[in-house]
Structure 1
């Protein structure tokens, strides 16, 4: 989800929770670093030593901190990488238009990963798809969360809603913007407050996606992706995202869709244990 961008973008159980000392110990082994790229830096973090790897790709308004509650859970079982795209969080802004999938390629080399499962949220799912089309051999699996992939049309209702969100942000009404009914469920007050706090601490996030460009229009090429794909959509997410999730399930040869109950667009913020278990089960699933 993006609040500022080009029209297509800005309109753009008890499960695994061993979350006591084990999770805390694993979290302490996380390593933060930066990658020099085009005169700027990408901030990234790695953790875990499992035989399988996961790369987390954030959405278009938050940075990698959005995965804070999922991170220690996944780090117990997998090698995990997360990073801030240009202009988000601790990464420097892009000086000009660029392709985020090329940055992802550079990051994969920097951390020494030849292949991984890519978990992309919203606009991050579009980057995961771009990378899969450019580097099919490097993609074990895809998890596309509240997907937003290039080539799909948007409804007039979605455009109106996006313009309303932009107006609220420009007026400084972040709380009002985050009260959008599709981002989180109505009762997720604590999670909503966290999102507002993240945005206030990282104002550069809003509009950082404006210079992002896909490598190619993805929709006509979705049939080329052979990696097993799980498409996750929150129960209350907006209709455009729901419809795109259904289309991906149809257009991608090995995709299946799951509606996550009692969750919105940012399901990993609202239901981290459930989200982590879904990802864990999919990554460890036998072919």
Structure 2
């Protein structure tokens, strides 16, 4: 199955991988800026998000993305990924390091991370709301938890719509199917990497960014004082220049 996707612009390819709170629409504020900066931008919906349906068998998100690259004739690309999409990007960069030219991870999840009490409490509360049939309540919990103080009401509503749609698609599945998550061998990742965290996010994601920046071969960590978990939505005016400057720097150095 081909992931739902769209392509804009021309030049070096940048692939955008969404948070599992959202879908590919979360990158609406980044696409025009990246195209104007001279990039070909590919964004896709992972399985069970946006316009990509749930699968009926175990699936491999990293393989899905590289299959899409093959379909589009993309041999190499920079990966820009948020939260759960960041975990997918790490796996791609570890399994196919020659295909990744640069890596930008925004509040990335990491398979090797042991959740804090706060993150476990969030998961337990979300599960309880879903079990009780309160999908609206579970949606609001996500909007409240994952957006920082600079997100305006339009951004909160857009995030609300994306999260509610994901719940509707995933809960309508006949049976629950889990992704196949491979362990990312961080030592195999060669791409220059920027790890971005937000001071208003849960501590887990600040810790992950710091750990990854220490363990990856060519990486640095940037903490944004204004940001929560989804800085690309919260303040694209502040995030986009950081993103574009890093991509230009990484590709100029090659």
RMSD of aligned alpha carbons: 2.1
Query: Contact 2:18 / 2:83 at 8 angstroms: preserved in 1?
Result: yes
Query: Contact 1:184 / 1:192 at 8 angstroms: preserved in 2?
Result: no
Distance 1:85 1:63 in 2: 8
Residue-by-residue CA offset, 1:199-218 (whole Å, 9 max, x unaligned)? 3445445569962222x222
Partner of 1:265: 229
Residue 154 of structure 1 pairs with residue 115 of structure 2: yes
Distance 2:147 2:216 in 1: 26
Partner of 1:188: 152
Which one of 54, 59, 66 corresponds to residue 93 of structure 1?
54
Q: Secondary structure at the match of 1:249?
A: helix
Q: Secondary structure at the match of 2:3?
A: strand
Distance 1:187 1:75 in 2: 24
C-alpha displacement of 1:179: 4.5
Distance 1:78 1:166 in 2: 40
Counterparts of 1:23-172 in structure 2, within 5 Å, are: 37=1, 41-50=2-11, 52-76=12-36, 77-169=38-130, 170-171=133-134, 172=136
Query: Contact 2:30 / 2:240 at 8 angstroms: preserved in 1?
Result: yes
Partner of 1:232: 196
Residue-by-residue CA offset, 1:211-258 (whole Å, 9 max, x unaligned)? 2222x222xx21221110000112211001111111001111111000
Query: Contact 1:46 / 1:80 at 8 angstroms: preserved in 2?
Result: yes
Query: Contact 1:89 / 1:204 at 8 angstroms: preserved in 2?
Result: no
Distance 2:177 2:124 in 1: 15
Distance 1:163 1:259 in 2: 28
Cα gap change, 1:179 to 1:98, in 2 (>3 Å): closer
Residue 276 of structure 1 pairs with residue 237 of structure 2: no
* TM-score normalised according to structure 1 size: 0.79
The runs of at least 4 aligned residues of structure 1 exceeding 4 Å deviation read 205-210
Cα gap change, 1:83 to 1:179, in 2 (>3 Å): closer
Residue-by-residue CA offset, 1:79-130 (whole Å, 9 max, x unaligned)? 0100001111111211121110110111001111110100111111111111
Cα gap change, 1:175 to 1:157, in 2 (>3 Å): closer
Query: Contact 1:61 / 1:206 at 8 angstroms: preserved in 2?
Result: no
Q: Secondary structure at the match of 1:42?
A: coil
Q: Secondary structure at the match of 1:211?
A: coil
C-alpha displacement of 1:197: 2.4
